[in-house]
Amino acid sequence: MLTIEELNDRLIDLAFSEDIGDGDHTTLCCIPDDAIGESKLLIKQEGIFAGVEIAKEVFRRFDSSLEVEVYVKDGAHVHPGDIVMSVKGREQSLLQTERLMLNILQRMSGIATMTHKYQQALVDAGTKTRVLDTRKTTPGMRMLEKEAVKIGGGMNHRIGLFDMILLKDNHIDFCGGVHNAISRAKQYCKEHGKNLKIECEVRNFQELDEALTEGCDRIMFDNFTPEDTRKAVELVGGRCETESSGGITFETMIPYAKAGVDFISFGALTHSVKGLDMSFKAAGSDKLVIK
């Protein structure tokens, strides 16, 4: 299995390949090869900054002679007008790395900003419920998007299909019920020497009773009402972790959190997020000043 670093390296290589192709002819036609300059990263929207390490790797992999100076850390609260990074070196390299770096930073910062908004609202409401992401990520960018969730104060549900067993409705229906699904999952882990957490989705109180009887690490309440969620949490009684899922939004999440669940998962953190506005401008440009 590829490491996170190897996956990110492949993403960077593919991104440069699809963007530059056989050459950035716009840059090559008008910028001398030996021209040296500096560009600065300007924040244009309030939010949580995320992705600085992968941005540095983008510059390093394209041109190791580029000098990167970072002024804020991942997770910092930034505001319009903030200069968070400067890069010095060959102007051709600055121009050719600009879009990929911005694409990554804008998306990761957008995810971190939304995650922070959700998690802070749960804290302000006096709950201990934690925000979880899902596998509804951009193909190839999952590691970066899930890292952004953590930077924003949330938690990763699971990285992929390999690091946790999540028995969802289709698994349960194909297996013939919750009891069979959990039983087979435990047997599989035993036979293959896997130390994986087992989570089971339940759609009603009958399935919840089966899951509690069979036992698992976490139970997901799928499309329960806040009232039924409270009853379900009481029935679980701390025997395992609890999670709410299924159409829950920022506007509707507080009653679920107050029902006592440990986690609420939101696909919107990664599949519906808007990137944080920022730009990469030549040092000395009047565009570096927010007017």
Q: What is the 8-class DSSP label of residue 276?
A: P
Residues contacting 40, CB < 8 A, separation 6+: 83, 85, 86, 87, 280, 281, 283, 288
90-101 core/surface letters (b: 16 or more CB in 10 A; e: else): bbbbbbbbbebb
Can 60 be counted among the known catalytic residues? no
Among candidate residues 44, 56, 99, 231, the one labeled active-site is: 99
Among candidate residues 60, 135, 150, 168, the one labeled active-site is: 168
Instruction: Give the integer Cα–Cα distance in Å for 36 and 45.
Output: 29
Among candidate residues 44, 56, 136, 230, the one labeled active-site is: 136
Can 136 be counted among the known catalytic residues? yes
Helices (H), the chain: 4-20, 25-30, 52-62, 91-124, 142-151, 169-175, 178-192, 205-214, 226-236, 253-258, 268-271
Can 99 be counted among the known catalytic residues? yes
Residue 174 identity (one-letter amino acid): F
Partners of 36 in the β-ladder? 90
Among candidate residues 209, 222, 228, 241, the one labeled active-site is: 222
Among candidate residues 201, 207, 210, 262, the one labeled active-site is: 201
Can 190 be counted among the known catalytic residues? no
Residues marked active site are found at 99, 136, 168, 201, 222
